[in-house]
């Protein structure tokens, strides 16, 4: 695994969203289901998206060799989300120790998602 890619759902910061809802949105876009492997709700609850063995659909030209984690919200994330995100990343790094933790925007300059500097954040919390 080359990348662990952090995303945001680009939903209102105060709206509770589920992986099931995102799955429905992605199906309506003609995709074959939720593009992320993991989804973190505003409450910090971790939900599964697609299985890790199934290539994601979350970052253009970098889906092969990457795991996608999506946070509910747009640009203000909860402390519970942050703690859950740290835990998931640490679990993934146990399995994929050479993976780089990045934001969607680090791999696609046309994007601002997840609207924070993932590399700086990760350095400050790991």
The yes-or-no answer on residue 104 being catalytic is yes
- Catalytic entry in 8, 70, 104, 105: 104
Exposure string of 47-85, with b = 16+ CB inside 10 Å and e = fewer, is: bebbeeeeebbbbeebbeebbbbbbbbbeebbeebeebb
- Catalytic entry in 2, 80, 96, 111: 111
- Catalytic entry in 3, 7, 8, 58: 7
The yes-or-no answer on residue 7 being catalytic is yes
The yes-or-no answer on residue 38 being catalytic is no
- Catalytic entry in 23, 26, 36, 37: 36
Q: Mapping DSSP to helix (H, G, I), strand (E, B) and coil, where does residue 81 land?
A: helix
- Catalytic entry in 8, 70, 105, 113: 113
Structure tokens that stand for 123 in this block = 């350095």
The yes-or-no answer on residue 111 being catalytic is yes
- Residues annotated as part of the active site: 7, 36, 104, 111, 113
């Amino acid at each position: 695994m080359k990348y662990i890619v952090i995303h945001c759902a680009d939903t209102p910061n105060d709206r509770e969203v589920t992986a099931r809802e995102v799955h429905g949105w992605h199906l309506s876009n003609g995709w074959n289901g939720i593009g992320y492997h993991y989804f973190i709700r505003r409450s910090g609850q971790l939900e599964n998206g697609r299985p890790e063995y199934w290539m994601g659909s979350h970052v253009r030209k970098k889906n092969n060799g990457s795991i996608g984690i999506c946070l509910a919200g747009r640009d203000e994330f909860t402390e519970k989300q942050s703690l859950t995100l740290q835990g998931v990343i640490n679990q993934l790094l146990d399995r994929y120790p050479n993976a780089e933790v990045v934001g969607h925007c680090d791999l696609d300059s046309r994007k601002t998602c997840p609207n924070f500097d993932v590399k700086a954040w990760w350095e400050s919390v790991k």
